[in-house]
Amino acid sequence: MTKRVDTIIVGGGQGGLSTSYYLKQQGRQHIVLEKSDQVAPAWRGRWDSFTLITPNWMTRLPGAVYQDDHPDGFLLRDDVVAYFEEYVAHFDLPLQYGYTVTSVEAIESGYLVRTDKEDFEATNVVMATGLFQQAKMPSFSADLSPEIRQLHSSEYRNPGELPAGAVLVVGSAQSGCQIAEELYQSGRKVYLSVGSAGRIPRRYRGQDITRWLGDVIFDGVTVDQLPSPKAKFGGSLQGTGKDGGHTINLHQFVKDGVVLLGHVQSIQGDRLLLVPDLMASLAHNDKFEADLVKRIDDYIEKNRLDYPEELLPDLRDGYAAEEIIDLDLKAAGIQTIIWATGYQFDFSLVKLPVFDEDGYPVQRRGVSEYPGLYFISLPFLYTWDSGILAGVGGDAAHITSLMATNGIS
């Protein structure tokens, strides 16, 4: 026997909670199905010293803008978890824990939502599972010698939990760089395979870089104005909020003893074969920062704003590094590989032809062509901050207002 519910939200992350908040304000019957046994499982799964890369002033779920004396500080992992716990408790949101949704199917009265515990019928379904659903690792990781431990960045907790010896981190976006920095600062020898993520200064000309990104780069830009549909999948940038936030610079890593490598091409037991593209990656990294600060400088000059001039450090140490194309892992003392290679998404539980060739939902600001089927908490669902704490509330307000104005109940 199925249970009838007006609206079902699949996923209890920031998108699901924001949607639930607005539905609660409207007095609309709904439940949030969360497969974990507690709120904020993705945040709980971060490493011990994790901090948000966005400053405190950007922590703003609807009805609960984070307020303290340090707007440009950064929340620790446990602070983020506490924020979510307090949010659910304060607004008494109807989360149902331990429910794994197995399918969403269209039926005459709306949708049939099947779970591992019971089935539901709903007029509306909001898919709030986000884009970072499954850890992604290259297929050739299966060719690694079993004597070397390998794990995804989502499984990393702290340096003390790793086997003794050197560590190879593959991937130089946010997670990869932050983990590599923590490891070498703890005394580990670190090798870092560099990717295409761009460098940003943590602060520039008196402001945190996130303020400049919002004012200069992304101001007013919506998803339909991106250069291509795939641009919404743009990789994350290099940055950190640890210890008050500072710039991540690969050239500084080299000065501190990190061995930089190009992209990993393949693994053959104990040997790592690499693409000789380190110098090109470093050049891209440097150019990204230079282009960004030029746009900020031009914006300041054009608008005659009063901000102090600043000249960023011009580090070049990485260009003196040896370009390694064949690395003997055992000879290098590497006992652990951490794959900071991102995540992949899978919406296949929705049994409707509502996805493009990438498997991404076809929708307009979260609204699909199927009445009552919505998506939320995706990067550039509408604007650049749609997928983060700072902007998800706006999209939640949009889709819940449509539910009300369309007279769906």
Place of tokens 């884009």: 131
**Inter-residue contact 38 to 97 (CB < 8 Å):** yes
In the predicted model, what is the mean pLDDT of residues 138-162? 96
In the predicted model, what is the mean pLDDT of residues 68-82? 93
In the predicted model, what is the mean pLDDT of residues 377-405? 92
The SS3 assignment for 100 reads coil
More confident position, 406 or 181: 181
**Inter-residue contact 97 to 125 (CB < 8 Å):** no
Please tell me the predicted confidence (pLDDT) of residue 132. Answer: 81
**Inter-residue contact 154 to 167 (CB < 8 Å):** no
The DSSP call for residue 361 is B
Please tell me the predicted confidence (pLDDT) of residue 236. Answer: 80
Please tell me the predicted confidence (pLDDT) of residue 229. Answer: 79
- pLDDT digit string, tens, across residues 318-360: 999 999 999 999 999 999 999 999 998 899 999 999 999 888 9
- Report the chain's mean pLDDT, rounded to a whole number: 94
Please tell me the predicted confidence (pLDDT) of residue 207. Answer: 97
Structure tokens at 397: 């307000």
Please tell me the predicted confidence (pLDDT) of residue 194. Answer: 97
CATH number for the region 136-339 comes to 3.50.50.60
Q: Where are the domain boundaries for CATH 3.50.50.60 in the chain?
A: 3-133+345-405, 136-339
pLDDT(234) > 90: no
DSSP string, 193-219: E--SPPB--SEETTEEHHHHIIIIIST
The secondary element (H helix, E strand) that includes residue 112 is strand 110-115
Kindly state the percentage of the chain with pLDDT values over 70: 99
pTM summary value: 0.95
pLDDT(407) > 90: no
Domain 3-133+345-405 classification at class level: alpha beta
